[in-house]
Amino acid sequence: MSDALSISECPYGICIWKFGWYRGLFVPCRVISVRDFLMHTDEQGRTLSCLMTHEFIIYRKDMVVTMKEKLEKIKAEAIRQINMSDALDKLNDVRVNFLGKKGELTAVLKSMKEVAPEDRPKVGQLVNEAREEIERVLEEAKAGMEKKLREAKMKAEVIDVTLPAQKNSVGHRHPNTIALEEVERIFIGMGYEVVEGPEIEKDYYNFEALNIPADHPAKDEQDTFYINGDILLRTQTSGVQVHEMEKGRLPIRMIAPGRVFRADEVDATHSPSFHQIEGLVIDKNITFADLKGTLAEFAKELFGEGTKVKFRPHHFPFTEPSAEMDVSCFKCGGSGCRFCKGEGWIEILGCGMVHPKVLKMCHIDPEEYTGFAFGVGLERIALLKYEIDDMRLLYENDIRFLKQF
């Protein structure tokens, strides 16, 4: 740097600029290397501008002092903000703002290139001291805050054993479910199996195989939703009989509970979707006496020991003979009341001996095997058993209603 311009050579003893034309006042600095330094002065000899044609680096002499002041200010501001923080996330904001990658202290470190190399360790140390100090105050504040939070939490969590307990509102089994479980219990006790069948069913299983051919009037009473000409929403659980018989496993003792569908308007006793429980027994030497004995026992178990049963002749296409079974009114014991509409009897189910045609369609020899079947409405049992006078209540899912059973 033999051709460097020394401070004494500069009229002001000061130079700051990088190369190019510059105007304005000079501030104290130290020139490291200057080549081709030109000065323009006005008539009074004042420097207007200077030209430096080569790059050179100038470090301000007072940089250490300036940096120290700057750091003090940053530190004071950081501490002020820490003291003002009233939450942990606010403290974290302060940390990020001052110590983070884009924080103020980091910015100071980045401006280190303006400091003369021999002053850099000093300034670096100052920055570190400032960082340590801010970190220390931050940690103290954080610990204090966490302690306060812990204390507040402990206070809030004090358990007052004298307070009334909070009641958990738990669900409740639906009256339909309670009734079904009761029916299942009775038949399982008699050695029956509980099976299920499809709700979306073929016309064949819902009608045809049950001896209800295409134009049979019984189909009118059981209109339903047809998915296509062949597939429909089942109108009765009787089709499950056919599925079970087709399996070819004899004897059969089964009940089949499930949802059925009909084109019915909603009212107190009707719904387009309700439930039935189908029953089927197929074995050698099954007679109407077995049917009567089984269903009489069922009625007693369900409605009480004193319950009597009565069979009225009826017609169902898939049973022969067929009957409807009434039970003696379990409210008045048969003398007649509001509940049984003065009749003393309540109709409860349809039943009969499985029609030989049905057996044949299911590849069972009617000469060798006979059987009986029955079908009962689940809602009907629930309504009777729990003395509910409107079927719609069963579908509203109002917990105030449901939890009474």
Residues near ligand DAH (CB under 6 A) are 236, 238, 278, 316, 319, 350-352, 373-375
Q: What is the DSSP letter of 226?
A: B
Omega before 317 cis (within 30°)?
Answer: no
CB of 236 to ligand DAH, least distance (A): 4
What is the spatial distance between Cα 11 and Cα 230, in angstroms, rounded to a whole number?
111
Q: Which tokens hold the place of 371?
A: 């059987």
- Nearer to ligand DAH by C-beta: 318 or 330? 318
CB of 350 to ligand DAH, least distance (A): 3
What is the spatial distance between Cα 301 and Cα 306, in angstroms, rounded to a whole number?
10
- Nearer to ligand DAH by C-beta: 15 or 210? 210
Omega before 251 cis (within 30°)?
Answer: yes
Answer for the pair 374, 351: CB distance below 8 angstroms, yes or no: yes
CB of 160 to ligand DAH, least distance (A): 59
CB of 373 to ligand DAH, least distance (A): 3
Q: Which tokens hold the place of 258?
A: 């499930």
Q: Which residues contact 51 (CB under 8 A, 6 or more apart)?
A: 19, 20, 21, 36, 37, 38, 40
CB of 389 to ligand DAH, least distance (A): 22
- Nearer to ligand DAH by C-beta: 239 or 334? 239
Q: Which tokens hold the place of 262?
A: 């009909």
* CB-nearest residue to ligand DAH: 375
CB of 324 to ligand DAH, least distance (A): 8
- Nearer to ligand DAH by C-beta: 211 or 319? 319
Of 255, 253, 256, 204, which is closest to residue 231 (Cα–Cα)? 204
- Nearer to ligand DAH by C-beta: 56 or 316? 316
- Nearer to ligand DAH by C-beta: 344 or 350? 350
CB of 300 to ligand DAH, least distance (A): 20
- Nearer to ligand DAH by C-beta: 103 or 352? 352
Helix (H) or strand (E) holding 235: none
CB of 363 to ligand DAH, least distance (A): 19
When computed from its CA atoms, the radius of gyration of the chain, rounded to whole angstroms, is 49
What is the spatial distance between Cα 327 and Cα 295, in angstroms, rounded to a whole number?
10
What is the spatial distance between Cα 279 and Cα 292, in angstroms, rounded to a whole number?
13
- Nearer to ligand DAH by C-beta: 104 or 203? 203
What is the spatial distance between Cα 77 and Cα 130, in angstroms, rounded to a whole number?
11
Q: Which tokens hold the place of 382?
A: 């629930």
